[in-house]
Amino acid sequence: MDVADLRTGPVQVKDDIGDRCQKLFQDFLEECTDERNEPKYVEEARNLVKPERNTLEVSFADIERFNQNLATVIQEEYYRVYPYVCRALRNFVKDHAEVSVEKEYYVSFVDVATRHKVRELTTAKVGSLLKISGQVPVFDVMLLTIAVVFPAIACNRWMGGLD
């Protein structure tokens, strides 16, 4: 048995879908423009280097207009591709801002069209990107009276009667 053939640590598995999603999402951030034909996410990415900022809000409708396949993969395989999306954002920030401290960056998707009611959620939807709507019933809070009893060290007695 050759010791050099033994591997230590976990085996890295390459995720081609994740890598492709990372590249497409970074291309999206680079190429997405607003109605005045100016880069939409560059200025917001520059603000992420501030210590109190680490999340970029991205319109999911913009992604759908840019590349429908990318939008579908993000929506259906959200849990799988989210780390790759965040890596694409990190690369985008490094390209457009002076990064002095390494930190994690996150993406928040807004304008997600797919909406489900709370009662429609099933395990089949676990791991996908969706918007949840519903009502939570609120009942009157019943007031409870709690008797507080504590030891008084000075007189060595148990005191009570406080509410």
Q: Which residue would you say has higher pLDDT here, 47 or 142?
A: 47
Residue ranges per structural domain of the chain = 12-133
Model's pTM, two decimal places?
A: 0.74
Range list of H helices, the chain:
16-31, 42-47, 60-66, 68-76, 78-96
Give the orientation angle of helix 16-31 with respect to helix 68-76, to 10 degrees: 130
Predicted confidence at residue 163, as pLDDT, reads 43
Rg of the chain over CA atoms, in angstroms? 26
Most confident of 33-37, 83-87, 142-146: 83-87
Predicted confidence at residue 99, as pLDDT, reads 83
The percentage of residues in the chain with a pLDDT greater than 70, rounded to a whole number, is: 80
Which CATH class, in words, describes the domain spanning 12-133?
Answer: alpha beta
Residue whose token pair is 């965040």? 86
Token pair of 137 as six digits: 């019933």
**Other residues' Cβ atoms within 10 Å of the Cβ of residue 34:** 10
H or E, element range at 109 = strand 106-110
pLDDT digits 0-9 by tens, 2-39: 555 666 778 788 899 999 999 999 999 999 998 888 89
Contact partners, residue 67, CB within 8 Å, separation at least 6:
24, 28
**Which residues, listed in sequence order, are joined to residue 51 by a DSSP beta bridge?**
none
